[in-house]
Structure 1
């Protein structure tokens, strides 16, 4: 159980794509090489217990998930059940999310309900560009219905992605799927499902801000970019209209919380807004104080 008074922040966006030797790791080898070139580093691939220890040392709680892109990219997923089991073994610091490819239809919806009921999953991750779908495609609606019924949030990648960047044909990754404006319709059709738009949404930042400001169930996480590169309009909205709807996220292991937090200290965020972004907004989104 999280000790909310003892943690300094909640990282809403971290990845667990499976340790070396698993099928998901081997399937994704080609794509991973492209990402190493994009990020100009050999991406660290720790196990979930290692990630827990890393964050525990820093007194930062974290949301952790894998990405299910089996339909579009043919990469077998790392088990949602395994992610949840290991996260629950480290429940003093970890919060498990799941990822289900929406192409799985009613089967995916049944899985979502089971993961919440039997494994304590606290939210769901989507990556439209990797999963090959528009978020407002009704194909995904049975899964959204199950998520809305559960009361858990849904986190969507938005904007450009390092996945496939610079690779031939972008490795089949279509950027348009992750335009945040598509989530406007989802927010209308599922007004009781909390939606988190992940990342500064380059090149559609203003669309993301408009949707988050207009729809009360839509939030933004700040993962995937160093804060020193945040566009001024994002900083302005985070300090004002969206100060209760913006969340800290790192995109670990691509960006570490150490780097993100150090760069966050250097940008012009009001002192009274910093704790909202780093911790309090996530507590509200995830309903942590009510447990």
Structure 2
């Protein structure tokens, strides 16, 4: 807990110890940003818990089709070992064995699907990804979707708006307040409803307090989740940035834990 609030990091990337530093260096090079941590589960738990984080939504997107099964097995093993972790698996829309991949994800009882269009190199609204969305929608699982990049439009908010129209029952967490580096477009294009939620990860370091509060209120505080984007940012500093927003007690309780717990049906 922190300041009397239960805390959930709704967006944490983890990797097996033997490849964690290499994977984290790759993320750093992609975004031209230094990483606070190294992507190891033990490091996440140690630093997150020390800062007051009680629960973690863990994920890791497959950048190639051959990674899907091993990543999902790893994530499931972490959830089994650490009860404070809730795991989202991964899929890759280019897989020729998509049904088999999804069957494995379901058998592992993973709680959702993490997709990163910019790493996986597909436009969100590419019709080739529609069979994947249809499977996820039919199963009622949510997607944690990376959103936004000023250098490309693969995960542009406009593309997400297309998918929301095409798949009326698809549940999506639009990461990074709907679009990293695309916050203006996100606010112009996206609106919360019962299917879409937003996390704060990798947004608070780039936005002013006023801009952050304006976005959260645009989407509705009840539709937002606190996220750190481990291993990118410091847990204490991200919590400090969040509390600097000076939201109401009700808004804090929701964003910091209760909204995600209710939306995913998690038992505390």
**Global fold match (TM > 0.5):** yes
Tell me which of 245, 250, 267 is aligned to 2:245.
Answer: 267
Distance in 2 separating the partners of 1:230 and 1:33: 23
1:51 paired residue among 44, 49, 67: 44
The equivalent residue for 1:164 is none
Cα distance in structure 1, aligned partners of 2:85 and 2:131: 28
Q: After the TM superposition, which residues 187-206 of structure 1 pair with which residues of structure 2 at under 5 Å, given as runs?
A: 187-200=164-177, 201-206=179-184
C-alpha distance 7-87 of structure 1, shift in aligned 2 (>3 A): farther
Unaligned runs of 5+ in 1: 1-5, 162-173
8 A Cα contact 1:151 1:193, kept in partner = yes
1:64 alignment counterpart: 58
Provide the residue aligned with 1:251 in structure 2. 229
**Which residues in structure 2 correspond to 1:1-291 (within 5 Å)?**
8-20=6-18, 22=19, 28=23, 31=26, 34=29, 38-41=32-35, 43-57=36-50, 58-70=52-64, 76=67, 79-91=71-83, 93-105=84-96, 107-116=97-106, 118-160=107-149, 175-200=152-177, 201-213=179-191, 215-226=193-204, 229-230=207-208, 232-239=210-217, 241-289=219-267
TM-score under structure 2 normalisation? Answer: 0.84
Q: Distance in 2 between matches of 1:141 and 1:245?
A: 25
C-alpha separation between the residues in 1 aligned to 2:245 and 2:260? 20
Aligned residue-pair number: 262
Contact 2:24 2:38 in 1 (8 A): no
Give the direction of change, closer, same or farther, for the CA distance of 1:241–1:101 in structure 2 (3 Å limit).
closer
* DSSP 3-state at the match of 1:79: helix
CA deviations on 1:266-288 (whole Å, 9 max, x unpaired) are: 12423321111111111122111
Where 1:95 maps in the other structure, the secondary structure is strand
Give the TM-score normalised by the residue count of structure 1.
0.78
Q: Distance in 1 between matches of 2:105 and 2:157?
A: 27
The alpha-carbon deviation at position 253 of structure 1 amounts to 1.0
Taking the aligned partners of 1:188 and 1:89, their CA distance within structure 2 comes to: 38
Is the 1:63–1:95 Cα contact (8 Å) retained in structure 2? yes
Q: Distance in 1 between matches of 2:27 and 2:38?
A: 11
| d(CA) in 2 for partners of 1:76, 1:119 | 16
